[in-house]
Amino acid sequence: MAALTRLLESSWTRVVIGVAIGVVLVLLPLSSPAFTNQTITRIAVFAVAVLGLNIIMGYAGQVMLGQIFFVGVGAYAAAITVRSDWGAALGFWGVVAAFVLAVLVPGVMGLLVALAAARLRGLAIAMVTIALPIVGVPVAKRLSDITGGSQGISARVFGAPEWTGLDNDQWQYYVVMTIAAVVFALAFFLVRGKYGRAFAIVKENEAVAASMGISPYRYKVLAFTIAAMFGGVAGFLYIAAIQFTSPETLSFGHSIELVIATIVGGAGSIVGSILGGIYYVLVPQLTNAVNPNATAVVQGVIVLVVLFVLPGGLASLPRAIRRLVRRKRGPDVAGPAATERRTPEGITPGAGDALPPRENEERQNR
């Protein structure tokens, strides 16, 4: 068991596992049914949304209950751009413009909200972020000429080019997974660099951060803005995968589900964001297939179990297993009595034992 634990902790093992997972993800859509490809694509979409929420809550330690608002704004920005005359006329570059606007519009809105909200704490900032989806839904319904009102708006961002020989679900899979992989790579280097260290210090103690020359206000605004931009990326991917959005996309219930997915997957963990995306998509699908009325109950039970058994989320499971293995193994070094070894002449002290000088002389004289 100890050898297996060391093997799993090896950096080379992690590289091999990562490469194997990458190869599987590349080859999987070529032989999987459309439903499987679409499910994995949706997981990638919401994993990016959870990742943005993880940046501000898990790494920067700030309250954020309105992430779905930025996902919805990004989806609307992408859909409106693709459906517009100038967006359609630009073709491929229209899709690029849709992606840029889907990132910039939520990013600017997130920056404006952060400039006012980053000075708040606790319940006050929670109420500000809660207000975002609550206000966003009626506004989306009111602007029916732009957003399609309660009926929503559909948009086909792209289909599979003929030269690829792929079906639409396969092409969407590859595009969404590629963008998601780039976003996760950027997040990985962000939290491993100086900004990630600054986020951790601000999360731990703002007074200590200020004494070290790190502005808590500046880094909270930065984390909020990055989370909003990642939400916008998720919104673009949502339109690419689902090809439809409505005011329901911005609902407060979905925002709370994203927070729950962050907690279940593991706050402050890149892998936890992926696990959160899996939880967000698969658990409702499985429960609805068994009993739609039990969805809320099952989700509540899962959250309670994770909070009590794995406070760090599913991403902390390997650490919990290692601690359990060490506890069962016990101490590696026993007391002095264990260093004694028996010989035909009797008990001989081990290397760690020391004899009094007189006994040493008597043993030598013998």
Q: Encoding tokens for residue 65?
A: 């209950």
pLDDT tens for each residue of 287-321: 887 777 777 788 888 888 888 888 888 888 888 88
Judged by DSSP in three states, 154 sits in strand
Q: Which residues contact 152 (CB under 8 A, 6 or more apart)?
A: 244, 245, 246, 247, 248
pLDDT tens for each residue of 220-253: 999 999 999 999 999 999 999 999 999 998 888 8
Ramachandran angles phi, psi of 355, nearest 5°? -95, 150
Confidence category of residue 161, pLDDT binned at 50, 70, 90: confident
User: Scanning the structure block, which residue is given the tokens 């963008």?
Assistant: 179
Question: Domain extents for the chain?
Answer: 32-250
pTM, two decimal places? 0.84
d(Cα 182, Cα 171) in Å, to the nearest integer? 17
Higher per-residue pLDDT: 353 or 12:
12
Alpha helices (H) along 32-121: 34-54, 67-83, 85-90, 92-117
Higher per-residue pLDDT: 32 or 330:
32
Higher per-residue pLDDT: 79 or 15:
79
Q: Which residues contact 289 (CB under 8 A, 6 or more apart)?
A: none
